[in-house]
Amino acid sequence: MAEKKFYITTPIFYANAELHLGHTYTLVLSDVLARYHRSIGDKTFFLTGSDEHGDKIVRAAQKEDIGPQAFVNKNVAKMQELIKELGISNDLFIRTSNQEHHWPGAKKLWHALEEAGDIYKGTYKGLYCIGCESFITEKELVNGKCPLHDTEPEHIEEENYFFKLSKYGPEIKRLLLNGEFKITPQSRVNEIVSLISGANGESGLGDVSISRPERAIPWGIPAPNDPTQLMYVWCDALSNYISALGYGTDNEENFRTFWPADIQILGKDILRFHALLWPAFLLSARIPLPRELLVHGFVNSGGKKMSKSLGNVLSPGEFISEYGRDALRYYLTREVSPVEDWDLTREKFKEVYNANLANGLGNLVSRTLKMAEQYFGGVVTGDATRVPSIKSKMSAVETFGDIAGMNIPYIITNDILPRYHKHMSASEINKGADVIWELIGHLDQFVTDYEPFKLVKTDKKATEAIIWGLLYGLREVGRMLVPIMPDTAEKIEILVGASSALADEAVFNTKALTEPLFKRRD
């Protein structure tokens, strides 16, 4: 059987400022999925990177009185430091200013569009939003301003190269409606289909500019065969997903192996570029489309969009510094829906941390290891057949069906793991995390049902079966946590000390817990 491949990308982050919690969520969501697919044996390639060209970069660099390259180098270094702090396991970090690794692919894609007859020269006259790095129409404005950046666009008239986007609207619509080109959630499909259809049932798409005059923005990739024009930032940036795989170079092996992408993760603010421009470019170049775009929402703070003027801006660094990166990864995995807007405050984070990590998982690990050490010197022997059923399940037939009255190993094998893998393989990482904490709840209930700290006084053999069941359960919790909280998963594996990876019969040689997994914050 051929090895299954999995290619996942984040959008490349614009190198004009430090990454915030919205970018952090994109990275963590992508990393959890990449780690999960590696854990089930898929040949995985995980890409992230930086978008370094365009008008905003030039203007920001000028404000700091440095060159564009020095400016992006400084910000990319900060990006890569955050990626390291978050424990992101990307296989490659692509930079659009890299003339060796990125430019050949971008230029090859341009040539492919040209050969298809889809590029022509024309004059653009209209509005341009610096924040979006995008041309914008009057009907998109709200009170005369860009709705995303709350700024008035500039009026521009210049000669550019145009791409025949209008030509590909009907085909993109067809692929979206029949599911060949998947966007999650479905509401985003409806949004794009509506945009393509237009107000009167006819295509609402016009052709788009894909270059800017070099004299206007002297920072970017020269348009092939015309150095007076630079490739417009979106034509340049979107090609990173294939240039990173060697497209356009002498070695396209990774491109042949991993493309098309299995999942491309992005925020809803850049959906149109990825759901219209990107597939149109690929169709023109006769390159397969990505299998799925997963579109997540925005992060708010205290119910309001983060703003320096409101004083509600939260940085990922402060949560990592105070709580550790696994705590932040936990929150972003379980407390956030992958497809909806979400809200975060320092108070909410602390509440969740104390309830589910310090008092929940951390406390369960601590008292289980303490009993294993105190009653059995850290060496606990048993097997799945000796573990008693959870008493509370005996009367829950209508809720738990045929697993009523079954023990921890049975519940894990027949209920917990199937649901965990179902959700994780569907990119529903928050629901996958819920299943892990459901198991943690079962283990807590197991302790409540049998009170091994009392049982040990009358029946040490039965107590050992109880503690073995708890260690077995924690071993599985650790395994399922590998994609979500890799540091914590490794600690649990070491502390539990399983002697056998899969066998029902095992000896757990536990280690003493020298400090809490998660120290409570009061």
Q: Active-site residue numbers?
A: 20, 23, 129, 132, 146, 149, 305, 308
Rg from Cα positions in the chain: 27
- Rounding to the nearest 10 degrees, give the CA dihedral for residues 270, 273, 276, 282: -130
- Rounding to the nearest 10 degrees, give the CA dihedral for residues 73, 77, 80, 81: -170
Q: ω before 418 within 30° of 0 (cis)?
A: no
Which helix (H) or strand (E) covers residue 146, if one does?
none
Query: What is d(CA 432, CA 334) in angstroms, rounded to the nearest whole number?
Result: 8
Q: How far does the chain reach from its first CA to its final CA, in angstroms? A: 53
Q: How far is CA 278 from CA 127, 181, 291, 293, in A?
A: 22, 12, 13, 11
Strand runs labelled E in 340-446: 342-343, 379-382
**Angle (CA) 434 438 443, round 5°:** 150
Q: How far is CA 104 from CA 11, 100, 229, 426, in A?
A: 19, 7, 17, 34
Contact 388, 450 (CB under 8 A): yes
Query: What is d(CA 436, CA 419) in angstroms, rounded to the nearest whole number?
Result: 10
Task: Indicate the DSSP class of residue 10.
Answer: P
162 three-class SS: strand
Closest C-alpha to 327, from 370, 369, 360, 366? 360
Phi-psi region of 244 (alpha: psi -120 to 50; beta: other; left: phi over 0): alpha
Task: Indicate the DSSP class of residue 157.
Answer: E
Query: What is d(CA 343, CA 314) in angstroms, rounded to the nearest whole number?
Result: 11
